[in-house]
Structure 1
């Protein structure tokens, strides 16, 4: 499977996972950063974890605007 195929097949799932992780930020407050790092670290394959990380970064940047 090409990288582009992998990306297109997993983008919706990565976005949903990023939204789930981001939603926990308010409730967890200071503990969130360590928790979210461990959640992303556990995701496989690594390419999927990177997709989730990028989507989560985008959510964070948009919330700060």
Structure 2
């Protein structure tokens, strides 16, 4: 990998490390989620929500984001 690519992805890696540290400090397990379709799929029930939804309220999953 070129040094430019390494510099480009460094902030993402730092954020992931920070989140993992904070989760461990809080006694929780941090999980990695595949970023594909994350803006469309409910993390609790897996139901696909259209991208043009007016809000992130998902009463069928018992959550409101």
TM score, norm. by length of structure 2? 0.38
Select the structure of larger CA radius of gyration.
Answer: 2
Q: Which has the higher contact order (CA 8 A, sep 6+)?
A: 1
Tell me which protein shows more helix as a share of its residues.
Answer: 1
Tell me which protein shows more strand as a share of its residues.
Answer: 2
TM score, norm. by length of structure 1? 0.38
